[in-house]
């Protein structure tokens, strides 16, 4: 009788343990983060969107964008942007550039100027008043849009593209 | 060692035709647009079977697309970007096709390269083009370079056209 109780208790513990494991490790609850990187021009539009003071000397920007939980279509993001004047003969900046850190939330919505079905990330940074808009070209490529949802046009050196590397 | 470095430098120069000096060859058909950009080197060179060197990390591109003056359909291109010793562009025909791996409705420009696999460019909108691989997936760039071409402004287009006359 005593051993029977022990067996029942052991089975109960095992069952509760499995439930607990299931509750903490379901794939839906694990927030994944995708990392997008790229270099873009630093034209007046993107500088204004990032609230960088007019007249600031900059020839390009380097981006690192962490998007959490893309499968859910909404979540947190973090972006590190370096901007400044290019250092000739390198892919970097004179004096290392200026660092800008952004954090906030995003939602995934449909609709761009050229394609009503397109998926567009709307990033609302705590540090900025305007949204940053990025169209999803596929799972690996994002491209910046203007506030009226047209592609921002780059130049011979850089496009407004971010590439998923993680 | 000094000569080796010089050789590498000169070889790299041959691999990257500079669009700054790329001159259009005058055509009697309307220009649809000129697109410029820089992309990583190795993957694209491999895809279109162009020789390269390990030190090649980027390619500067200039693409001029022409259309038929009556029908408006694609009618020829000029492309600068890989091994053109005399900075003479590659010329050929292009056509509009449909579909990428991610988007069956996407508009894709297919540039026929004589004796080599076609160069595929997805139209983002009228101003931005994305390089596709042979399976019609978008190429993924890196921290420094991406696989896009951007339309040059009207003012730059006129300047480039005037230099060709």
Q: Looking at CA atoms only, how far is residue B102 from chain A in angstroms?
A: 6
Residue A97 forms contact with B (CB below 8 Å): no
Closest Cβ opposite residue B151 in set A150, A153, A165: A153
Distance from C-alpha of A120 to C-alpha of A135, rounded to nearest angstrom: 4
ipTM confidence:
0.85
Task: Say whether B102 and A164 touch across the interface (CB within 8 A).
Answer: no
Say which CATH class B2-164 falls into: mainly beta
Q: Looking at CA atoms only, how far is residue B3 from chain A in angstroms?
A: 20
Tens of pLDDT, residues B58-103: 999 999 999 999 999 999 999 998 644 456 888 999 999 999 999 9
pTM of the model: 0.84
Q: Looking at CA atoms only, how far is residue A107 from chain B in angstroms?
A: 21
User: Long-range contact list for B52-56, CB < 8 A, 24+ apart?
Assistant: B52/B15, B52/B82, B53/B8, B53/B11, B53/B12, B53/B15, B55/B8, B55/B11, B55/B12, B56/B12, B56/B15, B56/B16
Task: Say whether B145 and A39 touch across the interface (CB within 8 A).
Answer: yes
Nearest CA in chain A to B18: A156
Tens of pLDDT, residues A121-145: 999 999 999 999 999 999 999 999 9
pLDDT the model gives residue B28: 76
**A5 three-class SS:** helix
């Amino acid at each position: 009788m005593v051993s029977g109780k022990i067996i029942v208790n052991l089975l109960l513990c095992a069952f509760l343990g499995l439930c607990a494991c299931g509750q903490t490790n379901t794939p839906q609850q694990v927030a994944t983060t995708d990392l997008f990187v790229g270099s873009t021009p630093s034209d007046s539009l993107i500088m204004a969107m990032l609230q960088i003071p007019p007249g600031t000397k900059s020839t390009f920007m380097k981006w690192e964008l962490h998007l959490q939980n893309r499968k859910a279509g909404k979540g947190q993001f973090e972006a590190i942007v370096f901007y400044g004047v290019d250092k000739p003969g390198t892919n970097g900046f004179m004096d290392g550039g200026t660092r800008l850190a952004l954090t906030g939330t995003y939602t995934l919505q449909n609709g761009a100027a050229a394609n009503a079905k397109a998926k567009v990330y709307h990033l609302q940074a705590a540090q900025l008043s305007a949204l940053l808009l990025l169209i999803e070209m596929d799972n690996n490529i994002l491209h910046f849009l203007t506030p009226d949802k047209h592609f921002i046009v780059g130049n011979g050196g850089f496009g407004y593209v971010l590439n998923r590397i993680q | 060692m000094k000569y080796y470095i010089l050789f590498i430098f000169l070889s790299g120069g041959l691999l990257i035709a500079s669009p700054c000096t790329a001159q259009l060859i005058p055509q009697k058909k309307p220009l649809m647009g000129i697109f410029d950009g820089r992309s990583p080197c190795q993957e694209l060179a491999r895809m279109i079977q162009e020789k390269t060197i390990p030190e090649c990390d980027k390619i500067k591109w200039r693409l001029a697309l022409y259309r038929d003056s009556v029908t408006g359909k694609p009618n020829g291109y000029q492309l600068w970007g890989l091994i053109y010793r005399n900075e003479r562009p590659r010329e050929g025909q292009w056509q509009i096709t449909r579909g990428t791996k991610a988007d069956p409705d996407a508009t894709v420009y297919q540039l026929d390269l004589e004796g080599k696999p076609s160069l595929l460019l997805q139209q983002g909108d009228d101003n931005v083009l994305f390089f596709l691989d042979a399976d019609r997936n978008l190429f993924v760039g890196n921290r420094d370079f991406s696989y896009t071409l951007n339309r040059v402004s009207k003012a730059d287009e006129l300047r480039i056209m005037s230099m060709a006359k």
